[in-house]
A and B are shown apart, each in its own frame.
Chain A
Amino acid sequence: MNVNATFIGQVIVFVILLWFFWRFVVPPLAQANTDRQKKIAAGLAAAERGQKDLEEAKSRADAVVREARERANQILDQANRRSGEMIDSAKQTASAEGERLLASARAEAGNETARARDALRREVGALAVTGASRLLGREIDAKAHAQLLDELAEEIARG
């Protein structure tokens, strides 16, 4: 169990093993560890960013929806108002038309009445002439009494 040349061999073996670990084992493992740390940090940052983006998008979507709702309400109001206006104007047009029709009917009726009165008068005139001629027993000379007859007819017509 004394120290002898084996010691030299053991030193060489250990130095080689130490060099091997230093050169070929620890650096790749440390590198992988560092890379993983970076990756995890990046992943966490990305997740946080995604969360923030989502919140932003949500609030933006909310704003858009709110705006759309307002706009829809506006349009609805406008449409309601417009339909009211249209109904009102249609009503006005209809009543004006009705009045106009009524007036024209009235005028027509007036004309008709006047015409009927004219015809009546003329007939009454003729009847009066006929009656008078019968009363007189003789023929009234229409030509001779035309002036008179016309005046009579006119009077009847006026009265």
Chain B
Amino acid sequence: MASGHVAEHGTTPTDYIVHHLTHLKVGEGFWTWHIDTLLMSALLAILVGWVFRAAARRATSGVPGRFVGFIELVVEFVDGQVADIYHGDRRFMVALALSLFTWIIAMNTMDLLPIDLPGGVAALFGAEFWRVLPTADLNGTVAMAFVVLLLIVIAAIRAKGVGGYAHEWIAAPFGNHPLLWIPNAVLNLVELLSKPVSLAMRLFGNMYAGELLFMLIALLGFTVVGLTAGSSVAFLGQIVMGSAWAIFHILIVVLQAYIFMVLPIVYIAMAEEHH
């Protein structure tokens, strides 16, 4: 599948990879906008929101149909996960976990599309580059992690008050002594920032690596020149390895979404605990 577009994308494997890792962007410097990431994530958010809203609209206390039953299954699973971790009014937590879980699964699943298909379709609309996977864009994962960071701080302030939270910043974990205020604050800053950074990097790293591996497997197609023994091996190798990696990648798609769903709930639950 990769070989068909080699001519358009460039002649060398390096060109192919670079092309696949380049965003469609407008703007300069910080004010650069990744059109592909923004459009794909927004479209998938609309899709996920529409599907779940359709189920929520149809949900009754009676016997659910197949579609509503499936959505309720997902919601119940997420609700169970949240209930295990977070004790309290968990309506917002379920919404947070559910939106993270479903949206990330939808975005990650884009990685399973044939690697040259999104770029090919985008080319039909005149777009030179198209990275279809918003979670392989650091902006996408950092944005979610940033919102989670804000929610952690808000939850902590709501639970302890501004004074209580500020006191915790300088008094924990070493103790309330003027000499220890700065070490405490530094440690707390590291602790707080490590959470969203690890969230964002974990998801980004997994998806970026997965995408890159698909590209490397697709490069096998570069060596196909005709009906020779080497070409046949390369072609078979691309099919077998591509299939194997895609099947394994289904696990990563769901697992990373699950991790990104559970950890924010854990962090917020921790933030509301009193030290």
The residues of A with any CB-CB pair to B shorter than 8 Å are 1-11, 13-18, 20-22, 24-33, 35-36, 38-39
Bits for B31-74, please: 1 = Cβ < 8 Å to A, else 0. 11110011001100100110011011101111010000001100
B166 on interface, CB distance cutoff 8 Å: no
9 residue pairs of the A-B complex, CB under 8 angstroms, read A3-B142, A10-B143, A13-B143, A18-B95, A18-B147, A20-B99, A29-B55, A29-B72, A29-B75
Given A18-B96, A26-B94: A32 in contact with B61 (beta carbons within 8 A)? yes
Given A6-B34, A20-B53, A29-B71: A35 in contact with B61 (beta carbons within 8 A)? yes
Given A25-B52, A28-B57, A28-B59: A7 in contact with B139 (beta carbons within 8 A)? yes
Given A14-B144, A32-B60: A6 in contact with B42 (beta carbons within 8 A)? no
Residues of A within 8 A of B59 (CB): 28-29, 31-33
Name the residue among B42, B59, B140 with the largest chain A CB count within 10 angstroms: B59
Bound-state Cα–Cα, A1 to B208, Å: 10
- Which secondary structure dominates where chain B touches chain A? helix
- Which secondary structure dominates where chain A touches chain B? helix
Bound-state Cα–Cα, A30 to B56, Å: 9
Residues of B within 8 A of A31 (CB): 59
Residues of A within 8 A of B103 (CB): 14, 17
Please give me the residue from chain B that is nearest to A7 by CB atom: B139
Q: Are A38 and B56 in contact (CB under 8 A)?
A: no
* B49, B72, B79: the one within 8 Å of A17 (CB): B49
* B27, B52, B94, B96: the one within 8 Å of A5 (CB): B27
Given A22-B91, A25-B56: A4 in contact with B33 (beta carbons within 8 A)? yes
Interface residues of B in 73-104 (CB under 8 A from A): 75-76, 79, 91-92, 94-96, 98-99, 103
Residues of A within 8 A of B125 (CB): none
B146 on interface, CB distance cutoff 8 Å: yes
- Nearest CB of A to B253, in Å: 18
Given A22-B91, A39-B61: A4 in contact with B71 (beta carbons within 8 A)? no
Q: Are B94 and A17 in contact (CB under 8 A)?
A: no
Q: Pick the 9 closest A-B CB pairs, nearest first.
A: A10-B143, A35-B61, A22-B95, A32-B59, A6-B139, A28-B56, A21-B99, A6-B34, A21-B95
* B30, B92, B138: the one within 8 Å of A1 (CB): B138
Bound-state Cα–Cα, A20 to B53, Å: 9
Bound-state Cα–Cα, A36 to B59, Å: 10
Q: Are B99 and A17 in contact (CB under 8 A)?
A: yes
Bound-state Cα–Cα, A7 to B23, Å: 14
Bound-state Cα–Cα, A33 to B27, Å: 48
Residues of A within 8 A of B111 (CB): none
Name the residue among B41, B56, B75, B103 with the largest chain A CB count within 10 angstroms: B56
